[in-house]
Amino acid sequence: MRYKRLPFDWMPATLDWIPDDLPHPPLCAAANRKLDGLTPRVVPAVYFPDDGSIRNESTTIAYLLDERHADRPAVPRDPAVAFCSHLLEDMADEWLVKIAFLYRWGHEEDAAFKSRIVTGEFLGGYYSRAVLDKAAKHFASRQQSRMRLVGATAENAAMIMMSFDRLLKAMDRLPDNSTFIFGASPTLADFGFYGQLQSLATDPTPWVSMRGAAPGVFPYLQLLEDSSGIETQELSLLDIGAATVDLLRIVVDIYLPYLRANERALAENEPSFAFKVDGLRYVQEPFKYHAKCYRVLREKFSALDPGARSQVETVLGSTEFLLS
């Protein structure tokens, strides 16, 4: 919204995250009235005052905002860049959340620290320390109970951490060749990465490893925090550097095989699925929404004209997982 120079009000939202036996402060009540009837029950959500609609799913919201406010688009105009940007944003939304979950809810120190920040934000003030402690504990244990659903488990930790390691190495090299992932102005991919990396950069444990392994990521996040002063540029895959190619290769090596294994398990009604990368094994219950993500990616790939498709093929190295 800041990049697009759209004015907005920020409203902390609660869904059902406050225990029933605690008072629901006025801030929660106001946000909950706006979120009433929202499906699926996930945030972020954007309320559009012009038609009174409320929409969620961050990718859908981003496309919708570009449709309604075409100036300063987050979706690049060049179709090959737009496709790669969508691919990276999808991985950021759906895979990087496993890294964030594993760190935040898998370490007691991180869980205690961040659950207070999250719950304190939606309690909004005028609460006692006892109320904050109770709400934070309730929220942390609720999130910990969801780790398996997300795939953030001890048996998957090695692959998840390997993907984080590759991600940090690539992101740290981004400034060698550009400011943002595809060049001098940000795209949907940057905003997707921002959401997850900003969490990781402010949680105690990953913050320390990021400072050591990838100090170049912090100025990038700082620039993205408010990119309203950055001018929009035309972007081309012909100008991208090695770091961006490395990021895209993480999609090819890990995220697309994950999506395919998930889709197959759903089609065959399997209770769980597994896949391997570099000898590391990942296992999870199938997740319906990720089958939709995979379908959308293949539809977008098959809609590319031959010129754009060949550019995408060159940077990805392999498009085997994108062919229907």
Ligand X SMILES: N[C@@H](CCC(=O)N[C@@H](CS)C(=O)NCC(=O)O)C(=O)O
- Nearer Cβ to ligand X, position 6 or 315? 6
Length in residues, the chain = 324
Q: CA angle, corner 114, sides to 111 and 118, nearest 5?
A: 125
Q: How far is the CB of 45 from ligand X (least distance, A)?
A: 8
Residue 44: CB minimum distance to ligand X, A: 6
CB of 13 to ligand X, least distance (A): 8
User: Count of H helices and E strands in the chain?
Assistant: 15, 4
Q: Which is nearer to ligand X, 43 or 161 (CB)?
A: 43
Please identify, using beta-carbon distances, which residue of 142 and 169 lies nearer to ligand X: 142
Structure tokens at 164: 């984080």
- In the bound state with ligand X, the residue whose beta carbon lies nearer, of 58 and 163, is 58
Rounded distance between C-alpha atoms, residue 13 and residue 117, angstroms: 13
Q: CB of residue 31 vs ligand X: minimum separation in angstroms?
A: 12
Least distance to ligand X, CB of residue 146, Å: 7
Give yes or no for a cis peptide into 44 (omega within 30° of 0).
Answer: yes
Least distance CB 145 / ligand X (angstroms): 10
Residue 52 neighbours by CB under 8 Å, 6+ apart: none
Tell me how far apart the alpha carbons of residues 95 and 81 are, in angstroms, rounded to a whole number. 20
CA gap 256, 296 in Å, rounded: 12
- Give whichever of 96 and 131 is closer to ligand X, judged by the CB atom: 96
CB of 114 vs ligand X, minimal distance in Å? 12
256 closest CA partner among 98, 99, 95? 95
Q: Are 74 and 65 in contact (CB under 8 A)?
A: yes
Q: Which residues bind ligand X (CB under 6 A)?
A: 15, 41-44, 56-58, 93
Q: Which is nearer to ligand X, 41 or 211 (CB)?
A: 41
E-strand ranges in 9-52 read 45-48
Q: At what angle do helices 188-202 and 96-106 cross, to 10 degrees?
A: 10
- Which CB sits closer to ligand X, 59 or 232? 59
Name which of 44 and 317 has its Cβ closer to ligand X. Answer: 44
Distance set, CA 21 to CA 31, 112, 134, 205 (Å): 19, 21, 10, 32
Distance in Å, CB of 222 to ligand X, minimum? 22
The strand pair at 280-284 and 273-277 is best described as: antiparallel
